[in-house]
Structure formats: structure tokens, C-alpha cells
């Protein structure tokens, strides 16, 4: 893979890893009754969930770009969402 493709792959993986760790952690803590309803907004913020959710922007264009790279499609993009 060239540098732009590696960058897109890295962004895809980083989004997925952050999302999975934070959401799964939240699920387990809530499931164990470790946080009550009143504490939930502060807990979600402390996990960085709002930032992680906003970081999902650009996911589909990155995935489309990687599909283009993998399948050798002619449409070569010069600027991929950062």
C-alpha cells in the first residue's frame, strides 16, 4: 500500500478501536451497575464518547477509498478525508 492508503487504513482502524473500547467499556460498567442514570452523562464524557462519535466522520469515504485501492478501480482520489 502507498502512504495515502496506509493513512486511510490507519484512520479506519483507529476509529474502530476507539469506538469498540469505549462502547464496550460503557456496556460493561453499566451492566455491572457501576454508574447510575444521574452519573451517565459525565461518565460518557469522561470516556470521550462525544469525541469518538464525532471522529467517525469520514469513515465511509475512507472505506470507499480502500475499496478502490483493493479492487484497482480507476478512480484514484488525490484527497482523502483526514
pLDDT in tens, the chain (82 residues): 899 999 999 999 999 999 999 999 999 999 999 999 999 999 999 999 999 999 999 999 999 999 999 999 865 555 554 4
Q: Is 66 helix (H, G, I), strand (E, B) or coil?
A: helix
- What are the residue ranges spanned by the domains of the chain? 3-71
DSSP string, 3-63: HHHHHHHHHHHHHHHHHHHHHHHHHHHHHTT-S-GGGHHHHHHHTTHHHHHHTTTTHHHHH
What's the pTM value of the predicted model, to 2 decimals? 0.80
Residue tagged 470521550 (cell numbers) = 48
Output the CA–CA distances (angstroms, integers) from residue 67 to 23, 42, 57, 62, in the order listed: 26, 38, 18, 9
Amino acid at each position: 500500500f502507498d502512504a495515502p492508503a496506509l493513512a486511510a487504513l490507519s484512520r479506519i482502524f483507529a476509529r474502530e478501536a476507539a469506538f469498540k473500547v469505549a462502547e464496550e467499556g460503557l456496556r460493561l460498567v453499566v451492566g455491572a451497575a457501576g454508574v447510575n442514570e444521574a452519573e451517565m452523562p459525565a461518565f460518557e464524557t469522561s470516556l470521550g464518547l462525544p469525541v469518538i462519535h464525532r471522529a467517525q466522520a469520514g469513515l465511509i469515504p475512507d472505506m470507499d477509498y480502500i475499496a478502490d485501492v483493493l479492487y484497482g478501480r480507476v478512480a484514484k482520489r488525490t484527497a482523502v478525508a483526514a
